[in-house]
Amino acid sequence: MKIFKIIVILFLFNICHGQIPPKGTIQYKYYNYCNENLSETERLKTYPFYPTEELCSIRKCFRGISYPEINELIYKRIVEIAKVNFDEKNYLYLIKGKECIELAEMKNKNLEDDNKLIYIGIDEIYYDEEVSKGIELYNSETERLMKIKRSR
């Protein structure tokens, strides 16, 4: 029984630490960056104690995905973060999937390539459909803004 408990603890430890980009990487920097230039969020009537003021980074948004009412607020914030990052010339592209953090690290080795994108691995294992929607919203907004920029 002790061996089983140890294995479970090690498994959980691996899951918890496997979801965050490695410290010191550009991916980690932008994943955790708390942007001060965001609009103030309203308190949710259904969840008045939900800390909406903490939704200032990609990490906090994706880690906050849970209930539909909260998710709608988070989706709006994700689009706003995409706009602010773009305005600050931080062209981020979120990716998801097996070993996405490692894939992002590999793609980030050449930040001077044609697309100038910085890839961020979103390795959240819960609420897969909702996380996918958030990623799609972020990337769609970034792509929309890039098309506008190119057409000028």
Mean pLDDT within 29-46: 93
Count of H helices and E strands in the chain? 6, 2
Task: Determine the average pLDDT of the residues in 83-112.
Answer: 92
Mean pLDDT of the region 137-145: 97
Q: Which of 35, 33, 29 is nearest to 104 (CA)?
A: 29
- Asked if pLDDT for residue 24 goes beyond 90, the answer is no
Whether 16 has a pLDDT exceeding 80, the answer reads no
Tell me how far apart the alpha carbons of residues 46 and 43 are, in angstroms, rounded to a whole number.
9
pLDDT at residue 92, as a whole number: 97
For all residues of the chain together, what is the average pLDDT?
87
- What was the pLDDT predicted at 2? 52
For residue range 75-94, what is the model confidence (pLDDT) as tens digits?
Answer: 999 999 999 999 999 999 99
DSSP state of 75: H
**DSSP E strands: which ranges in the chain?**
92-95, 118-121
On the question of pLDDT at 3 being above 60, the answer is: no
Flag whether pLDDT at 125 surpasses 90. no
Handedness of CA 99, 97, 127, 90 (dihedral sign): positive
